[in-house]
């Protein structure tokens, strides 16, 4: 029997806060969230509804589900991939039809859900010790509250630049290691009639990887902690602000896309 469903065809069952759990996973352009609760049962078997947001991960999750079910024959897992997961999960929460297991991108919207504390608290759960503390710290920052641990990180990504080795070899180019060297390579490629970058910008979120990569530098030294302390009082003349601290990042991103 096929376990994967998509969109509105899937019908989760009602669930209450006390029985809901959450697990969040960070991907560098973002991160994901999970919940678990006792599911409805059929004779001799428990069914878990698994809500996840990455279409490209369908096959991977199917393999994981198959391995899990082989080890736990009394549990059946139904995968439900949602392309608009942030909207879908809010609709389900409002209707009190929360899935048993949820993955969501761990960004600002997830922070709102974590602060609402609608998911299971993992504070005293042994599984918390298996999570990379650095990833868990990021999730804690999203929640802005350390009284509960309502999400667990299970994956994170890194940014990088993929380059064409053949073109570099043909053009006699060395792999750049600094910003100035990168721009020099772009100039040489442009002069040779070669487009230096391809921007996958059909979706707005794909602008984030380059911004995140370059924005990591001004975000050091407690930038976001200071920003939170300022609250609504933050402005251009504040000790820290996006307008001031990220100006160079914005300029560099514009420069990169001028070569796209």
Residues 15 and 67 in one domain: yes
Task: Output the six-digit token pair for 105.
Answer: 């991108």
Which of 143, 173, 188 finishes a domain? Answer: 143
Radius of gyration from C-alpha coordinates of the chain: 22
Residue-range definition of the domain harbouring residue 229: 165-258
User: Does residue 150 fall inside a structural domain?
Assistant: no
**Helix (H) and strand (E) counts in the chain:** 10, 7
The 10s digit of each residue's pLDDT in 127-143 is: 889 988 888 888 888 88
Predicted TM-score (pTM) of the model is 0.64
Residues 93 and 195 in one domain: no
Domain count, the chain: 2
Task: Output the six-digit token pair for 58.
Answer: 């369908």
31 CB burial (10 A radius; 0-12, 13-18, 19+): buried
pLDDT for 183 equals 97
CATH number of 40's domain:
3.40.190.10
Nearby residues of 54 by Cβ (< 8 Å), 6 or more positions away: 32, 81, 103
> Does the pLDDT of residue 11 top 70, yes or no?
no
């Amino acid at each position: 029997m096929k376990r994967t469903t998509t969109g509105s065809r899937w019908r989760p069952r009602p669930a209450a806060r006390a029985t809901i759990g959450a697990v969040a996973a960070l991907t560098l352009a973002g991160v994901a969230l999970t919940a678990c609760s006792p599911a409805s049962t059929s004779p001799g078997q428990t069914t878990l509804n698994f809500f996840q947001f990455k279409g490209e991960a369908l096959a991977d999750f199917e393999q994981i589900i198959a391995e899990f079910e082989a080890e736990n024959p009394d549990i059946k897992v139904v995968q439900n991939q949602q392309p608009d997961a942030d909207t879908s999960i809010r609709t389900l929460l409002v209707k009190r039809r929360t899935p048993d297991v949820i993955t969501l991108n761990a960004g600002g919207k997830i922070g709102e859900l974590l602060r609402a504390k609608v998911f299971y608290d993992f504070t005293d759960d042994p599984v918390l010790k298996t999570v990379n503390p650095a990833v868990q710290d990021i999730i804690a920052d999203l929640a802005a509250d350390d009284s509960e641990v309502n999400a667990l990180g299970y994956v994170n990504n890194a940014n990088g630049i993929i380059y064409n080795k053949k073109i570099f070899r043909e053009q006699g180019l060395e792999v750049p290691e600094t910003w100035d060297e990168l721009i020099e390579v772009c100039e040489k490629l442009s002069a040779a009639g070669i487009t230096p970058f391809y921007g996958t910008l059909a979706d707005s979120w794909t602008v984030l990887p380059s911004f995140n990569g370059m924005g990591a530098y001004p975000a050091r030294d407690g930038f976001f902690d200071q920003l939170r302390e300022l609250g609504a009082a933050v402005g251009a003349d504040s000790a820290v602000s996006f307008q001031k601290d990220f100006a160079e990042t914005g300029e560099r991103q514009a420069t990169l896309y001028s070569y796209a």
